[in-house]
Structure 1
């Protein structure tokens, strides 16, 4: 995957350039980044490309941790509580 396709607005690149950035700020930037991807670009593939390019040798950077979390499978869906969970339609 091309870097321009994985980070079209340069949001992740800029996050690595910000000194003292926090994990919370990185998560906010991640959401903006994920919403800026073109249709058909999968988040895990793009995140892996960005880790390989920007995260190499920077395992302690908060954005590297956020991108690694994007590679993990989501937890299984659970039953929701409340009335909707008790009564089937």
Structure 2
């Protein structure tokens, strides 16, 4: 398939925008599937590109809201617990 998007090879995000009446719950599920299959650990650049590609004029679309939330919720992972956390330093 020559028109396959490297950022969305399965077409998950594109299809989400095409589904009439899709819910935010369904968009979050689709986004999770996309994120788990995405090649990079840093999804931010890809999400920004997908928003630029699909989001204009669709600010109320649940997938636009899901992608926007994914950008604002992104924070670096922090180590919690474990043996080192229990020991006095």
TM-score range, shorter chain: 0.7 to 0.9
Note the alpha carbon deviations across 1:24-68, whole angstroms, 9 max, x for none: 000000000001111x36311111001001111100100000000
Say how many residue pairs are matched. 82
TM-score, length-scaled by structure 1? 0.76
> In the TM superposition, what are the counterparts of 1:8-87 in structure 2 within 5 Å?
8-38=9-39, 40=40, 42-72=42-72, 73-74=74-75
Contiguous gaps of at least 5 residues in structure 2? none
Separation in structure 2 between the aligned mates of residue 88 and residue 51 of structure 1, nearest angstrom: 43
Shift of residue 6, structure 1, vs aligned partner? 1.4
CA RMSD of aligned residues (A): 2.7
Contiguous gaps of at least 5 residues in structure 1? none
Question: More relative contact order in 1 or in 2 (CA 8 Å, sep 6+)?
Answer: 1
